[in-house]
């Protein structure tokens, strides 16, 4: 199937393009971007022109920041295209609900992707926890914003989510592996004095689940989730790609490079069956944190 990438930035170049090129399901047939392009692929700088001139491309994958994404997704759906959304699926919950309804009414596929759910060890972790009694759990998600979003000031503007841009990856895993849902009880959010979104957050959920997100870590990055049960302790390392039970590695691979190929395989399945996959539970937790969180001002941040 032919697919177009809309928004050719770092995540598109690092993950989407290699995943599409390596897939037996997809051909990268076009790109739409004001600045970026992919060698050898027809490039457009205007979505409307692409939709008019390339009716042969039935699927679009949106990789731009969340704030402008709704208008692009809506236009694509109205033009009869199936739509794949980079995480988070939108800037607000309401706009994603509207896109879901539009896709359903037009018989099109809409996929709100969560790439961390495709990490190698997430499925076996979910299976191991399915019949366990959980005592407590904790997320430590510390990374360096300068490494992953170099100079991208939009992540600190309204709609950019700040530290919840990576933190929502952890929440997407948590909501996938827990046998029962949890809800947020309280949060503490650290806002740089010169920024509009938080650079760190500490969350407390029901079920004795806590989380510590920080975007200021230099050197080795930390993406860990531990869950203590009455039958042992589970730990997910490397962003959900390595599974340990009581300190022993039992599943997974220490690489994140399998996540996006799995997303595109899932999208191919959805398009073939004319179905959608839109789970907003990770985004609900972020929305709740921004609603309930106690705001604290910290040092100014500069790239």
| CA nearest neighbour of 264 among 21, 76, 68 | 21
Partners of residue 236 on adjacent β-strands: 225, 243
Structure tokens at 168: 């929502």
DSSP notation for 181-194: ---EEEEEEEEETT
Residue 163, SS3 per DSSP: coil
Q: How many angstroms separate the CA atoms of 64 and 85, rounded?
A: 9
| Annotated catalytic residue within 2, 87, 126, 147 | 87
Active site residue 2: no
Q: How many angstroms separate the CA atoms of 225 and 128, rounded?
A: 14
Q: Which residue has the tokens 């949106």?
A: 62
Structure tokens at 141: 């998600």
Residues 6+ apart with CB under 8 A from 143: 166, 214, 215, 217, 221, 222, 223
Q: How many angstroms separate the CA atoms of 108 and 21, rounded?
A: 24
Which residues carry out catalysis? 87
């Amino acid at each position: 199937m032919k697919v177009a990438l809309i928004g050719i930035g770092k995540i598109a170049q690092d993950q989407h393009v290699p995943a599409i090129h390596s897939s037996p399901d997809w051909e990268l047939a076009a790109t739409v971007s004001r600045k970026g392009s992919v060698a050898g692929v027809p490039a457009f700088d205007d979505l409307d022109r692409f939709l008019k001139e390339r009716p042969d491309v039935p699927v679009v994958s949106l990789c731009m920041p969340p704030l402008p994404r709704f208008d692009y997704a809506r236009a694509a759906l109205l033009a009869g295209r199936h739509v794949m959304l980079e995480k988070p699926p939108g800037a607000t919950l309401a706009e994603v609900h509207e896109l879901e309804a539009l896709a359903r009414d037009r018989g099109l596929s809409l996929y709100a992707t969560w790439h961390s759910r495709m990490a190698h060890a997430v499925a076996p972790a979910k299976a191991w926890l399915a019949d366990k009694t959980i005592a407590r759990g904790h997320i430590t998600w510390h990374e360096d914003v300068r490494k992953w979003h170099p100079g991208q000031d939009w992540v600190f503007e309204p709609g950019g989510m700040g530290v919840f841009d990576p933190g929502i990856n952890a929440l997407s895993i948590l909501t996938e592996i827990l046998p029962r849902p949890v809800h947020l009880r309280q949060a503490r959010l650290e806002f740089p004095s010169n920024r509009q979104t938080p650079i760190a957050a500490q969350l407390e959920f029901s079920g004795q689940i806590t989380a510590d997100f920080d975007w200021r870590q230099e050197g080795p990055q930390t993406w860990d989730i531990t869950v203590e049960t009455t039958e042992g302790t589970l730990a997910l390392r490397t962003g959900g790609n390595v599974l340990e039970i009581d300190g022993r590695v039992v599943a997974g691979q220490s690489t994140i490079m399998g996540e996006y190929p799995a997303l595109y395989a899932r999208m191919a399945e959805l398009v073939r069956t004319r179905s959608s996959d839109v789970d907003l539970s990770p985004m609900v937790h972020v929305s709740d944190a921004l609603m309930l969180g106690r705001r604290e001002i910290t040092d100014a941040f500069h790239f």
